[in-house]
């Protein structure tokens, strides 16, 4: 008798299972792989100091890179007087003020309230573990905000509003170039800018080679003089306020101070900044501003201009200003370099504004030129 044992067949799918445990890869921050030079390129494109402040609190690496940014834009939120904050109707620089906003009638101090809140908590390891990158102040002046930026080359500062108060409908724009003192200034004004209308247009005046007679009788010349003096005082006040910033940043090669209204622009290039550092400015005895030197002015006027895109400008006036020098001719330049200087002034005038204002300048330079002289003040 043969004993039979059961034939046990092992299913093919029944195999021993072994669990394989794979250690997770360590987390890699891909941004850490970007070189510092590329991060700085991004920060330079960003430029806005408020945004840079937020970036600086992200990491220690960003904290160390932000002060190396070349291009910086500072937008000022508020302007107050030296005596303290002013609000509402008592503030001549407030948008809601009933008084004219005029910068030069008060001694002002630029301050920032909410500009750099992120910077307030930012720690600068080079100054100690508990020392903030920016001082703990309720108000920050532009010089204080920029104090820890060590390599600024191109700086743009924007004020909250224009400096010269004007009546409704009046157009006033200016651009000034300064070294240690005024070098060039161009002012564009108009009594009204709107869509082309045939009514209420100032009638063309007879061109007899002198300033039109209605300028004397209806206050037109006086109004243009007020525009000119006010713009020059505003420009010289802005220039005076830049002293500390220029002193603290020897790497600066381009500086622009403008306003949110687009009324006035002060600019200083590399040569102007070099002159400012080498030759001390002359302050006005009456207020905190740079003294405006004696100058020659060229005034051009057109009662009505048709501009592009259906825009018209009434009472259009263009004033170009150049400091006079001893022995200068009518253009404000000596005979030896008159041609070169004239080309520089023309280039500055033509490039001062954009859009309809640029078209107005091109039209006005074709008008008759009236030469005036102005004493320093």
Residue 166: per-residue pLDDT: 83
Residue 56: per-residue pLDDT: 92
Tell me the Ramachandran region of residue 296: left when phi exceeds 0, alpha when psi lies from -120 to 50, beta otherwise: beta
Residue 290: per-residue pLDDT: 94
What is the torsional sign of CA 272, 275, 281, 282?
negative
Q: Quickly count: other Cβ atoms within 10 Å of residue 42's Cβ.
A: 12
Which stretch of DSSP H or E encloses residue 226? helix 220-241
* Cα 334 to chain centroid, rounded: 32
Strands 154-159 and 254-259: parallel
Average pLDDT, the chain: 76
What is the torsional sign of CA 265, 176, 187, 358?
negative
Residue 207: per-residue pLDDT: 52
The list of the chain residues with pLDDT below 50 reads 80-139, 198, 200-205, 326-336
Q: How far is it, in rounded angstroms, from Cα 70 to Cα 47?
A: 8
Is 28 strand, coil or helix?
coil
Residue 264: per-residue pLDDT: 96
Residue 126: per-residue pLDDT: 41
Strands 192-195 and 311-323: antiparallel
β-strand partners of 313: 193, 305
Is residue 358 a contact partner of residue 364, using CB atoms and an 8 Å limit? Answer: no
pTM, two decimals, is 0.73
Residue 77: per-residue pLDDT: 79
């Amino acid at each position: 008798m043969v004993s039979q044992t059961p034939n046990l067949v092992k299913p093919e799918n029944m195999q021993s299972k072994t669990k394989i445990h794979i250690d997770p890869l360590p987390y890699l921050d891909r941004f850490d792989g970007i070189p510092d030079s590329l991060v700085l390129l991004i920060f330079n494109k960003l430029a806005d100091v408020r945004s840079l402040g937020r970036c600086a609190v992200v990491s220690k690496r960003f904290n160390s890179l932000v002060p190396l940014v070349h291009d910086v834009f500072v937008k000022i939120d508020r302007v107050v007087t030296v005596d303290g904050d002013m609000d509402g109707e008592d503030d001549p620089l407030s948008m809601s003020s009933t008084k004219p906003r005029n910068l030069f009638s008060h001694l002002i101090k630029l301050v920032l309230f909410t500009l750099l809140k992120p910077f307030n908590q930012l720690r600068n390891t080079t100054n100690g573990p508990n020392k903030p990158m920016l001082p703990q102040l309720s108000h920050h002046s532009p010089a204080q905000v920029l104090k820890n930026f060590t390599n600024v080359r191109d700086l743009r500062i924007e004020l909250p509003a224009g400096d010269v108060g004007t009546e409704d409908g009046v157009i006033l724009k200016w651009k000034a170039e300064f070294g240690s003192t005024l070098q060039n200034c161009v002012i564009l004004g108009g009594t009204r800018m709107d869509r082309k209308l045939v009514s209420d247009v100032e009638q063309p005046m007879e061109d007899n080679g002198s300033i039109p007679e209605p300028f004397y009788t209806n206050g037109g010349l006086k109004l243009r003089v007020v525009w000119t003096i006010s713009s020059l005082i505003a420009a010289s006040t802005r220039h005076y306020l830049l002293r500390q910033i220029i002193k603290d940043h020897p790497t600066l090669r381009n500086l622009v101070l403008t306003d949110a209204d687009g009324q006035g622009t002060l600019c200083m290039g590399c040569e102007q900044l070099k002159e400012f550092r080498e030759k001390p400015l002359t302050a006005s005895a009456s207020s905190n501003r740079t003294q405006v030197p004696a100058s020659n002015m060229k005034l051009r006027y057109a009662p009505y201009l048709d501009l592009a895109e259906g825009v018209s400008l009434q009472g259009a006036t263009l004033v170009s200003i150049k400091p006079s020098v001893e022995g200068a001719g009518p253009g404000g330049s000596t005979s030896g370099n008159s041609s070169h200087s004239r080309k520089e002034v023309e280039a500055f005038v033509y490039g001062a504004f954009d859009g309809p204002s640029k078209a107005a300048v091109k039209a006005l330079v074709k008008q008759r030129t009236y030469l005036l002289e102005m004493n320093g003040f």
